Structure 1
């Protein structure tokens, strides 16, 4: 079995390579050669943690496995990151476990890649201003991934935690971009062409009235029942795209508009994979408001883990153990 540590995964897998891998898996999902299995995600009653298991298979790429882990909100005080996860890969022909990959960094990268892929296919071609709602650990992944698909000139951001906002601003400026931190979320929406939400919120953070025509929104925070970042009226009025249909109805951003009867499956334009493979049109006009619901699917985790394993093998990195 190959063991890929956190440091090795970070060294090997770039955001650009992750975007290519995740884009391929979305296309494979749309083409029917890859599928995700039902998600297990539960509050465990210990340390206020939420634990989950995501699994799936890409028969074309011969990638099979699962990612297990979740969110431990008190970890920062222990000197660890709040998100903790590991990916286990299996040989598709024999079922034998083949690799164990530390997935903390890779989860951040694949989430940034998912959002950036949606931005690449759904935002206006002339979009250059990014808005970030939530400047925690995921925000830098979102920033770097968006920079890989659009020529950003400025970033506007909001966070409840002023220290998070200041720290994020330093990173933005180090990357050569203009930065404005805002005390009001509405100000971010007034400035941005592309908006990414990446928070654990369970109440709407963006009102329909704040969103300008032509805006693209990647809603990345909702991955559990009850989480919410967008006004359901905004969701009901926008052009809607998603990563995995069943997940957006139950644990994604769209769950609330579905529950309220404001949308049905017929109101969804389709999956980002369908846009990637050309079977579905993406943005139709410069005035259209597009929303991508990125719930996070197993195949995103599996393809970046598989990429790390392949690169480690090519470069003589990682550790091989008897199992």
Structure 2
């Protein structure tokens, strides 16, 4: 069996955001219908704060694909010292019928795309139908990806933004206004930004409660992206007391996600978690039932999202004869 190699440029031309949103929806449904095996992911934190590498493994029983992703982050000196990005990813796809390596895919773009798509999926399932105003707390690359994905599922009329870093905030404003022709309003404070949100996106590497409970207006949908391991936090745990809590994975979010903090502080119990988003998509649990509900989507990111997204790209590559085949075994 030959193995297909796909680089980043090829990946860029083989997929669009609408397709990724569909792949992520499929991932959530498969996970919540027991069609996925997904061990806890592993992380290696390198000494002297150089960065970290995460390893995520998933098996999709319906497609018979096994994926393994290695994704690095936090290597802030990489561009200057090694002329490579500070964050990189690689995905291996194995044919589960034989165990053979089917495809090696650059995973850097896939991680950003599928994370952005997760927010869009949650907006479709949980946001008010008349939501029009988005607030971004954090204005890095993932904040841009969230806007790109959410714009596929709703009409965005207002964007408000806040960041600790003025340069990052200014660049975000210019990029989004150029790409979407929507005015980005730079907030005077976090509180001011949050109060204006119909949909609140948090994409920081925060280590404290950046968003206070009493800033969030009734009917807001919160897309919590930044907390994916212990030590990270973006939301005031009190926000969870009266909110509808939906997670990507109960096992991950209660141990490594934003939901961990209100559980640890005994503000909520396990029974307070309304559903996994896959259950909402499958119709086994209801989504939003009132325009006044505050809904929280806690997204830690799952291997099955990489699996379905990379699998979709692999099939596109085969259909379009893109990529380079090689063989480990002559």
Q: TM-score, normalised by structure 2?
A: 0.95
- Tell me which moved more, 232-241 or 79-88: 79-88
RMSD across aligned C-alpha pairs, in angstroms? Answer: 1.3
* 1:67 counterpart (56, 66, 69): 69
**TM-fit CA distance, 1:47:** 5.2
* 1:139 counterpart (138, 143, 150): 143
Is the counterpart of residue 293 in structure 1 residue 298 in structure 2? yes
* 1:232 counterpart (229, 233, 237): 237
Aligned to 2:196: 191
CA distance in 1 between partners of 2:92 and 2:49 (Å): 24
| Structure 2 gap segments, 5+ residues each | none
Aligned to 2:31: 29
Spell out structure 1 runs of 4+ moving beyond 6 A.
none
| Structure 1 gap segments, 5+ residues each | none
**TM-fit CA distance, 1:81:** 3.0
- Tell me which moved more, 161-170 or 105-114: 161-170
Is the counterpart of residue 172 in structure 1 residue 176 in structure 2? yes
CA distance in 1 between partners of 2:170 and 2:84 (Å): 21
**TM-fit CA distance, 1:49:** 0.7
The one-character-per-residue Cα deviations of 1:32-78 (angstroms, maximum 9, x if unpaired) are: 11232111123121652111111111101222111112213313445
Aligned to 2:107: 103
* 1:13 counterpart (6, 12, 15): 15
Aligned positions of 1:81-120 closer than 5 A: 81-120=85-124
Task: Report the count of equivalent residues.
Answer: 323
* Contact preservation (8 Å) 2:56, 2:69: yes
Q: TM-score, normalised by structure 1?
A: 0.97
CA distance in 1 between partners of 2:99 and 2:176 (Å): 44
Secondary structure of 2:308's counterpart equals helix
* Contact preservation (8 Å) 1:41, 1:224: no
